[in-house]
Copies of this chain bind each other. A is one copy, B any other.
Amino acid sequence: MTDPAPKPGAADAAIAIVGAGSIGSSFAVVHATAGRAVTLFDAASDAMQSAEERMLLTLTDLREHGLLDEDPAAVLARVSFADDLESAVGKAGFIHECVSENPDLKARLTAEIDACARRGVVIGSASSAIPASEYARDVAGRSRCLVTHPGNPPFLLRVIEIVPAAFTDPAATAAAQSILAAAGLETIVVRKELRGFVFNRLQGALLREAYCLVRDGVVDVEEIDALVRDGLGLRWSVIGPFETVDLNTRGGIERHAKLLGPAYEAMGAERGQHDPWTDELVASVTRQRRALLPMPDWEARVRWRDRTLMQVLAARRRAAG
């Protein structure tokens, strides 16, 4: 049997996207701007019409901001729209499933995709919180199923978590990594399947605390958003949460944990959480940070943080004025 299509998992694989809502059409932008052929399908044909308009708007905006070298129409010409599921996924080298967050719908659709897709082609779900072990459990080809959960919108938040189930073939995980990396996304493989994965566990932790603070009349919604926009979020956009506290305390994260760990633990206990930062855990985190930033470079890195924040603020000022 000959098969003229590229090898499944190859970096130039054709992409099929099922579900043409905002995430589906954003994935189409990601892959089409990376030069790939994309086929989009949605059971609702008006969804495909809106998707086309939205993609053109996005590509035009990207071009205007100097983030796209090609003509938007040329990129859009690589995206085609399928009339049915089978013609959408039948020849694809990678499949994104981007329907709404409903386990039954995902389970049914994944089985249908599995029945149409070529052998070895990976099916990645944009699930926000439902793990593959739940929606793909009863799918015949479950070993090629995993979650590929992006930030929204994925053409701007260029990092994606890949979450295999215990039954996922490691080769499927590797293929998803290679295809998504070739589209310019940084891939994070989550080593244990857990509810909400990493992105939404972190987001959820902050959001739950934010809801508590509003509920208790401590601050209002916009005050929290302002504190994060101009404070925590601004800094986290330059250095993540671990590097933030590593640089916040002279002596690094080990000293931070010593000085402020008990306060953070007490704040957690007030919300019912008891996950102490044990000496062993702090030592492990410290080892990882020190491998990334040896202590003699700490002072210079603080200045780098400040100078990078200055670039961001200068850009904000230019954009505003």
Residues of A at the B interface (CB closer than 8 Å) are 21-22, 57-58, 61-62, 65-67, 100-101, 128-130, 151-153, 156-159, 161, 186, 188, 190-192, 194-196, 198-245, 248, 250, 259-260, 263-264, 266-268, 270-275, 277, 281, 284-285, 288-289, 292, 303, 306-315, 317-319
Contacts and interface: CB of A to CB of B under 8 A. Distances in A.
Contacts of A152: 235, 248
Contacts of A186: 226, 230
B227 A188 contact: yes
Given A159-B226, A186-B226, 18 more contacts: A22-B250, A61-B303, A61-B306, A65-B307, A157-B309, A192-B218, A196-B264, A198-B213, A199-B227, A204-B268, A212-B275, A221-B292, A224-B242, A225-B239, A271-B272, A312-B312, A315-B318, A315-B319
A233 B311 CA distance: 16
A319 B200 CA distance: 29
B288 A188 contact: no
A288 B240 contact: no
A202 B192 contact: no
